């Protein structure tokens, strides 16, 4: 009996050692492999991320007098103080808090009538195949990335979602593309919101705009990817700078033109209407590259020229390019974009 028990213990120890040494690595390797499909450089990130919110801190400073970040379902989302109220000086200093931060009277936080408006009913139910292409490169700060994500979520929540109305797809990118949602993924709005909430926000360093545009055309806007015949498609691109490496700028322009060409798609679907949000670039304003290295004026001028050429090629019309002065201004463009998206339906 003692010999039998000893043998069992030895076998268990061997199994546990094998699992610890190789099994877990194999499991994570398999999950990593399963998470990659399609083109090289394209990654799919559909699962839940780790908790983003600071423990014990419901509210976070958003580098703004009139706005703040609030923890909702383990992620921070941008929120606004009441009309005429702003965050307190103490909240600015401590950065995070459990106490509601908007108790200061602030004239600068008065809202205009347009800002108080809501999305019209005919826009809510017009029915689109809506695709987001979101730059999450290192030149955008973590707080500003949260604001961009809040902008995406606010648009999604503004629309009537479902197979009879609007379906949503989207990706984020740095050096790689991470698709967080396909048109064919979900029919329920809550599932679409959850997938968008889990978008990848810290990709590898780089700005592969050409790859993101190509992925949208070949996968997200394909019939196989869920594109519906007879439904208008709209693409919202948000980026703050020129492609990196800069040698790929020409490829970005070529992919932007292909994205808008009707011949790139099935005749029963057609080309999408493309909007561009030209995001503020703090690094550019400081004369730095993504790593914070100071650049000579001649190089800065060259990069601005490349950026202007790229950004001119992306939207369907010049007036479909929007230039928010700050990341807090993003929501101001929701109604104009949705109005133009639905005006011919």
pLDDT single digits (tens) 274-313: 999 999 998 788 888 777 788 898 888 999 999 999 999 9
Q: Are 213 and 256 in contact (CB under 8 A)?
A: yes
pLDDT in tens, 230-280: 999 999 999 999 999 999 999 999 999 999 999 999 989 999 999 999 999
For the chain, the straight-line distance linking the first and the last C-alpha, in angstroms and rounded, comes to: 81
Q: What residues have CB less than 8 Å from 235, skipping those under 6 apart?
A: 131, 132, 133, 216, 221, 259, 272, 273, 274, 275
Flag whether 174 is in a domain. Answer: yes
**257 and 282 assigned to the same domain:** yes
Flag whether 292 is in a domain. Answer: yes
pLDDT at residue 203 tops 60: yes
| Angle, CA 66 vertex, CA 83 and CA 275 arms, to 5° | 95
pLDDT higher for 299 or 15?
299
**191 and 76 assigned to the same domain:** no
Mean pLDDT of 153-182: 95
Q: What residues have CB less than 8 Å from 343, skipping those under 6 apart?
A: none
Number of structural domains found in the chain = 2
Flag whether 250 is in a domain. Answer: yes
**249 and 274 assigned to the same domain:** yes
pLDDT in tens, 59-118: 999 999 999 999 998 899 999 999 889 999 999 999 999 999 999 988 888 876 455 545
Q: CA 152 to CA 288: how far, in whole Å?
A: 28
pLDDT in tens, 17-70: 444 343 434 433 333 333 333 333 454 443 444 458 888 889 999 999 999 999
Query: Last residue of a domain, which of 48, 76, 109?
Result: 109
Flag whether 53 is in a domain. Answer: no
Which residue range is the domain that position 280 belongs to?
121-342
Name residue, tokens 């011919």.
344
For residue 181, which of 148, 216, 217 has the smallest C-alpha distance?
216
pLDDT at 211: 98
pLDDT band at 1, cuts 50/70/90? very low
pLDDT at 38: 35
**250 and 304 assigned to the same domain:** yes
pLDDT band at 8, cuts 50/70/90? very low
Flag whether 40 is in a domain. Answer: no
Helices in the chain by DSSP H: which ranges?
2-18, 24-34, 89-94, 121-124, 142-158, 189-197, 209-215, 249-260, 282-286, 297-313, 334-342
DSSP state of 220: I
pLDDT in tens, 323-344: 999 999 999 999 999 999 988 7
**214 and 305 assigned to the same domain:** yes
**146 and 71 assigned to the same domain:** no
Name residue, tokens 């070949």.
218
- Name residue 237's beta-bridge partners: 133, 276
Flag whether 9 is in a domain. Answer: no
Q: How far is CA 41 from each of CA 12, 99, 222, rounded to the nearest angstrom?
A: 41, 43, 19
**134 and 94 assigned to the same domain:** no
pLDDT at 44: 40
Query: Exposure of 84 by Cβ count < 10 A (0-12 exposed, 13-18 middle, 19+ buried)?
Result: middle
pLDDT band at 121, cuts 50/70/90? low
pLDDT at 119: 56
pLDDT higher for 317 or 55?
317
CATH number of 229's domain = 3.40.50.410
Flag whether 258 is in a domain. Answer: yes
Q: What residues have CB less than 8 Å from 206, skipping those under 6 apart?
A: 137, 174, 175, 176, 244, 245
The token pair that represents 196 in the structure block = 């968008």
**194 and 303 assigned to the same domain:** yes
pLDDT higher for 34 or 126?
126
Q: CA 85 to CA 179: how far, in whole Å?
A: 38
**93 and 132 assigned to the same domain:** no
Distance of alpha carbon 256 from its chain centroid, rounded? 18
pLDDT at 136: 96
Q: Are 169 and 181 in contact (CB under 8 A)?
A: yes
**148 and 269 assigned to the same domain:** yes
């Amino acid at each position: 009996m003692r010999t039998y028990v000893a043998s069992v213990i030895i076998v268990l120890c061997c199994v546990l050692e094998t699992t610890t040494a190789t099994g877990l690595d194999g499991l994570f390797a398999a999950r990593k492999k399963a998470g990659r499909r399609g083109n090289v450089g394209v990654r799919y990130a559909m699962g839940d991320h780790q908790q983003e919110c600071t423990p014990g801190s419901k509210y976070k400073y958003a580098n703004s007098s009139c706005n703040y970040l609030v923890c909702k379902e383990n992620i921070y989302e941008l929120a606004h103080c009441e009309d005429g109220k702003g965050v307190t000086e103490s909240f600015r200093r401590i950065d995070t808090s459990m106490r509601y931060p908007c108790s200061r009277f602030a004239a600068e936080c008065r809202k205009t009538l347009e800002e108080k408006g809501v999305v019209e009913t005919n826009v809510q139910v017009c029915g689109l195949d809506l695709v987001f292409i979101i730059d999450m490169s290192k030149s955008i700060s973590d707080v500003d990335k949260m604001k961009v994500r809040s902008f995406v979520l606010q648009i999604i929540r503004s629309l009537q979602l479902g197979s009879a109305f609007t379906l949503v797809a989207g990706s984020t990118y740095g050096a790689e593309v991470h698709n967080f949602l396909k048109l064919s993924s979900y029919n329920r709005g809550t599932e679409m919101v959850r997938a968008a909430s889990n978008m990848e926000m810290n990709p590898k360093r780089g700005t592969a705009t050409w790859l993101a545009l190509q992925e949208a055309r070949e996968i997200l806007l394909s019939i196989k990817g869920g594109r519906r015949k007879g439904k208008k498609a709209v693409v919202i691109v948000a980026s703050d700078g020129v492609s990196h490496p800069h040698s790929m700028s020409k490829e970005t322009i070529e992919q932007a033109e292909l994205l808008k060409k009707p011949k790139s798609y099935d005749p029963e679907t057609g080309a999408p209407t493309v909007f561009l949000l030209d995001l503020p670039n703090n690094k550019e304003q400081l004369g730095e590259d993504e790593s914070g290295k100071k650049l000579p004026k001649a190089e800065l001028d060259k990069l601005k020229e490349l950026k202007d050429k790229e950004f001119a090629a992306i939207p369907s019309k010049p007036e479909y390019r929007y230039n928010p002065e700050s990341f807090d201004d993003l929501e101001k463009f929701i109604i104009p974009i949705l109005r133009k998206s639905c005006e011919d339906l």
